[in-house]
C-alpha cells in the first residue's frame, strides 16, 4: 500500500470525505455539495446514512469533480474527532472500496491538522494488512484493488513529517503480525531468530544464543521446555541504543513458544492449531524493537525473546520433573503445559542479570484463565511497580489496545510453593490461574521494577470489529509499548 500526501485531490478513483453525525458534511464534501446544488445532501437524505462511525455511502461524483465517485465516510460526533476516530474513519473508507475496482483512494483531510492527515495514512496501512502468501488460487475479485491512498492535506511537509514515525510503527506492527500469523512448520525458533536478525540492518544489535550457550548460562528451565522438540531453542537479544550513552536500558521480554502442544501434559486436539500464536509475546517485543529502531527512538532499550517449541517426545520433560533455573531456584514442573512461565523465568533472570534495566516488561500469551477473567478485549497487567504499570495503563486507551490492572496478592504466593522444590509451575487447582502465573514470574525478577502483560485474550482476533485490525494476528502490544516509550521514556 502506497501512501501519498497531496495538496489537492486529483483524478483519484474515489474521493472520501468525512461526514459527522446528523449529516454534517466537512471540507471538500461541503464545497462539492454547494457547487453541485446539494447533490450530496440529497443523496444522504434519500437513505439512512447519517454519519455514524462505521457507516459509509458511495455516490457518483457530481459534475466538475475529477474523482469518479465520492465516498461519504461516517466520522461520528464532530466534537469527538480524536486520533482513534480519524483512524477508524480511514480504515472504514479503505474497506468500503477495497474490492470495488478502484485503485486510488483519496481521503480529504485538508480541513484537519496535518497530524490527523498522517493518522489517516497510518490507519490505511494497518487496515490493508492481509496474510495471503499461501493463497494460490485467489479469485481476482477477492484481491483488493486499492493500491494507493492519497491523503489531501493543507500542509504536505508537516503531514509527511508526522507520518514518518507513524509509518515506522506501522512497519513494526505488520512485521509483528506476520510473525504471529506464520504457521509453526515455517516459523520455528531458528526461523524466528533469523527474521529478528534483519533488525541489524536497520541499526539494532542482535545476538542469537543457541542451546549450548544457554546451557553454559544455566538456563535449564527454558531449555527443559524445548527438550521434546526437534527444533533448537533460541534466545534472541535485541539492543537499541538511541538514548544517552551509559543510561540503563528499559527492557522487554517475550514468550516465544512457536508451538505449544502442551508437551507430555498434551492439550486436547480441538483448537490446538491456535497454539501457533503462542509466540505473540515475543512477536510484540520484536515489533516494538522494530518500531524503536525504525523511528530512531531516543532511548536505550533491549528486547529478549525466549524462543522454543513445546512438544511431546521421548526426550520431553515429564510432569513431576525438577529443573534448576538460571536464578538458582529449583522448579517442580507439575504440568508441562504451563511452559510459558518456565521460558520467562530464565529470560527475565537473564535480562535483569545482564542489563540491570530500569524496569522489565514481559508480554506473554500465558494463561487461558486470562480469557476467562477479562474476555477477549482486554489484556491483563500485573506489576510490582505503580509507575511502570501507569505507563502501560495510560498508553492503552491512546492506541486502542485495552489493558486492565490485575492484583498479585502476597497471600496467594504460597500457592506456588512446592514440597520438593523452591517453587512449582502451577497454583492449587484453577483458582486465579493468571495470578499464580504472574506470581511465579515475579519470583524471577530479582525485585527489579517489572510488569507482566498477559495477552492470551488479545494476540489473535476472530471476527474483528476494528477496521484497522483485520481478523487474525493483531500485532498487539507494539503500538501500546511504543506509545508508552514515546510518552514517558524518551528525551
Ligand atoms: N499458551 C497457553 C495459554 C493460552 C491458552 C493462550 C489459550 C491462549 C489461548 C499456556 O501455555 C497454557 O497452556 N497455560 C495453561 C496453564 C495451566 C496448565 C496451569 C492454561 O492456561 O490452561
Ligand atoms: Mn501451554
Ligand atoms: Zn503456552
Residues with CB under 6 A from ligand 1: 260, 278, 335, 337-340, 365, 367-369, 426, 433, 456
What's the whole-number mean pLDDT along residues 149-175? 98
Residue nearest to atom 22 of ligand 1 (CA): 368
pLDDT of res. 168:
98
Maximum Cα–Cα distance for the chain, whole Å? 83
User: In this structure, what C-alpha cell is assigned to residue 44?
Assistant: 444522504
Question: Which sequence positions are flagged as catalytic?
Answer: 267, 341
Alpha carbon nearest to ligand 1 atom 7, residue:
368
Confidence of residue 91 (pLDDT cuts 50, 70, 90): very high
Which residue lies with its CA nearest to atom 8 of ligand 1?
456
Tell which atom from ligand 1 comes closest to the C-alpha of 369. Answer: 21
> 10 pLDDT exceeds 90?
no
| Tens-digit pLDDT profile for residues 330-363 | 999 999 999 999 999 999 999 999 999 999 999 9
> Cα(171) to centroid of ligand 3, in Å?
27
Query: pLDDT grade, residue 63 (50/70/90)?
Result: confident
Q: Which listed ligand is nearest to 272 at the C-alpha?
A: 1
- Residue 286: HSE in the Cβ half-sphere, 13 Å Cα cutoff: 32
Number of C-beta neighbours around residue 341 at 10 A? 29
441-469 confidence digits (pLDDT tens): 999 999 999 999 999 999 999 999 999 99
Phi and psi at 39, nearest 5°, equal -60, -40
Overall average pLDDT of the 26-49 stretch: 95
Residue nearest to atom 13 of ligand 1 (CA): 337
pLDDT band at 116 (very low <50, low <70, confident <90, very high): very high
Query: Ligand 2: distance of its center to the CA of 432 in Å?
Result: 16
Atom number of ligand 1 nearest to Cα 370: 21
Quick: pLDDT tens for 197-235. 999 999 999 999 999 999 999 999 999 999 999 999 999
Of all protein residues, the one whose alpha carbon is nearest to atom 5 of ligand 1 is 368
Q: Which atom of ligand 1 is nearest to the CA of 339?
A: 11
Q: For 67-88, what is the mean pLDDT?
A: 96
* pLDDT surpasses 90 at 131: yes
CA 377 to centroid of ligand 1, rounded, Å: 17
Task: Give the integer Cα–Cα distance in Å for 261 and 242.
Answer: 39
Give the C-alpha separation, 91 to 125, whole Å: 9
Whether 64 shows a pLDDT value over 90: the answer reads no
| Spatial CB neighbours of 44, under 8 Å, sequence gap ≥ 6 | 19, 23, 50, 57, 72
Choose which residue among 257, 337, 455 to substitute to test ligand 1 binding: the one with the highest number of ligand atoms within 8 A of its C-beta. Answer: 337
Give the distance (Å) from ligand 2 centre to CA of residue 400: 28
| 435-461: b (≥16 Cβ within 10 Å) or e | bbbbbbbbbbbeebbbbbbbbbbbbbb
Residues with Cβ within 8 Å of 459's Cβ and at least 6 positions away in sequence, in order, are 180, 277, 280, 281, 283, 284, 365, 473, 474, 476
> How far apart are the CA of 261 and the centre of ligand 1, in A?
10
pLDDT at residue 437, rounded to an integer? 98
Rounded to whole angstroms, how far apart are CA atoms 259 and 308? 8
> For residue 343, how far is its CA from the centre of ligand 2 (angstroms)?
11
Q: Is the pTM of this model over 0.85?
A: yes
pLDDT tier, 78 (very low <50, low <70, confident <90, very high otherwise) = very high
> Cell for 66?
475529477
Residue 3 makes CB contacts below 8 A (sequence gap 6+) with: 121, 124, 125, 148, 149, 150, 151, 163, 167
- Asked if pLDDT for residue 31 goes beyond 90, the answer is yes
Higher pLDDT, 63 or 143: 143
The answer, yes or no, to whether residue 9 has pLDDT greater than 90, is no
Specify the residue with its C-alpha closest to ligand 1, atom 17: 338
Q: How confident is the model at residue 245 (pLDDT cuts 50, 70, 90)?
A: very high
The per-residue pLDDT for 429 is 87
Which one of the ligands is nearest to 180 CA? 1
pLDDT of residue 11: 85
491 falls in which pLDDT band (50, 70, 90)? confident
- Cα(418) to centroid of ligand 3, in Å? 21
Report the atom number in ligand 1 closest to the C-alpha of 277.
8
Average pLDDT over residues 1-27: 95
Reference 108, options 95, 96, 120; nearest CA is 120
What radius of gyration, in Å, describes the C-alpha atoms of the chain?
Answer: 24
Ligand 1 atom nearest the C-alpha of 426 is 19
Which ligand 1 atom is at minimum distance from the Cα of 265?
18
> What is the pLDDT, as a whole number, of residue 179?
98
**Mean pLDDT across the stretch 362-369?**
98
291-307 tens-digit pLDDT: 999 999 999 999 999 99
The percent of residues above 70 in pLDDT, for the chain, comes to 100
pLDDT, the chain, mean? 97
Cα 370 to averaged position of ligand 1 atoms, centre (Å): 9
Q: Output the pLDDT for position 260.
A: 98
Amino acid at each position: 500500500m502506497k501512501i501519498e500526501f497531496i495538496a489537492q485531490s486529483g483524478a483519484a478513483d474515489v474521493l472520501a470525505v468525512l461526514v459527522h453525525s446528523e449529516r454534517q458534511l466537512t471540507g471538500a464534501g461541503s464545497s462539492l455539495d454547494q457547487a453541485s446544488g446539494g447533490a450530496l445532501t440529497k443523496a444522504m437524505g434519500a437513505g439512512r446514512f447519517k454519519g455514524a462511525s462505521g457507516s459509509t455511502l458511495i455516490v457518483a461524483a457530481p459534475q466538475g469533480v475529477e474523482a469518479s465517485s465520492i465516498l461519504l465516510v461516517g466520522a461520528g460526533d464532530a466534537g469527538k474527532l480524536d486520533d482513534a476516530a480519524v483512524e477508524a474513519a480511514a480504515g472504514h473508507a479503505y474497506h468500503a472500496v477495497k474490492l470495488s475496482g478502484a485503485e486510488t483512494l483519496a481521503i480529504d483531510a485538508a480541513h484537519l491538522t496535518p497530524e490527523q492527515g498522517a493518522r489517516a495514512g497510518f490507519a490505511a496501512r494497518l487496515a490493508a494488512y492481509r496474510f495471503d502468501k499461501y493463497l494460490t488460487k485467489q479469485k481476482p475479485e477477492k484481491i483488493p484493488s486499492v493500491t494507493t491512498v492519497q491523503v489531501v492535506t493543507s500542509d504536505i511537509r508537516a503531514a509527511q513529517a508526522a507520518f514518518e514515525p507513524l509509518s515506522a510503527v506501522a512497519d513494526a506492527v505488520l512485521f509483528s503480525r506476520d510473525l504471529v500469523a506464520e504457521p509453526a512448520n515455517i516459523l520455528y525458533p531458528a526461523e524466528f531468530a533469523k527474521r529478528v536478525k534483519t533488525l541489524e540492518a536497520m541499526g539494532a544489535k542482535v545476538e542469537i544464543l543457541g542451546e549450548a550457550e544457554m546451557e553454559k548460562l544455566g538456563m535449564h528451565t527454558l531449555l527443559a521446555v524445548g527438550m521434546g522438540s526437534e527444533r533448537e531453542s533460541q534466545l534472541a537479544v535485541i539492543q537499541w541504543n538511541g538514548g544517552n550513552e551509559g543510561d540503563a536500558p528499559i527492557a522487554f521480554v517475550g514468550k516465544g513458544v512457536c508451538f505449544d502442544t502442551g508437551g507430555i501434559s498434551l492439550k486436547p486436539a480441538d483448537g490446538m492449531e491456535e497454539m501457533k500464536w503462542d509466540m505473540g509475546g515475543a512477536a510484540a517485543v520484536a515489533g516494538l524493537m522494530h518500531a524503536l529502531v525504525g523511528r530512531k527512538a531516543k532511548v536505550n532499550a533491549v528486547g529478549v525473546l525466549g524462543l522454543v517449541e513445546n512438544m511431546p517426545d521421548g526426550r520431553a520433560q515429564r510432569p513431576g520433573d525438577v529443573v534448576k533455573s538460571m536464578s538458582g531456584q529449583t522448579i517442580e514442573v507439575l504440568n508441562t503445559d504451563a511452559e510459558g512461565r518456565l521460558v520467562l523465568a530464565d529470560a527475565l533472570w537473564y535480562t535483569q542479570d545482564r542489563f540491570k534495566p530500569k524496569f522489565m516488561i514481559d508480554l506473554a500469551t500465558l494463561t487461558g484463565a486470562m480469557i476467562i477473567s477479562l474476555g477477549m478485549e482486554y489484556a491483563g497487567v500485573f506489576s510490582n511497580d505503580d509507575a511502570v504499570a501507569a505507563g502501560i495503563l495510560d498508553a492503552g486507551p491512546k492506541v486502542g489496545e485495552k489493558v486492565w490492572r490485575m492484583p498479585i496478592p502476597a497471600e496467594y504466593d504460597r500457592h506456588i510453593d512446592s514440597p520438593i522444590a523452591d517453587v512449582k509451575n502451577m497454583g492449587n487447582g484453577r483458582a486465579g490461574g493468571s495470578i499464580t502465573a504472574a506470581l511465579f514470574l515475579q519470583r524471577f525478577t530479582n525485585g527489579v521494577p517489572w510488569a507482566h502483560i498477559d495477552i492470551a485474550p488479545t494476540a489473535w482476533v476472530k471476527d474483528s470489529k476494528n477496521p484497522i485490525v483485520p481478523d487474525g494476528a493483531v500485532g498487539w502490544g507494539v503500538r501500546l509499548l511504543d506509545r508508552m516509550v514515546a510518552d514517558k521514556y524518551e528525551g
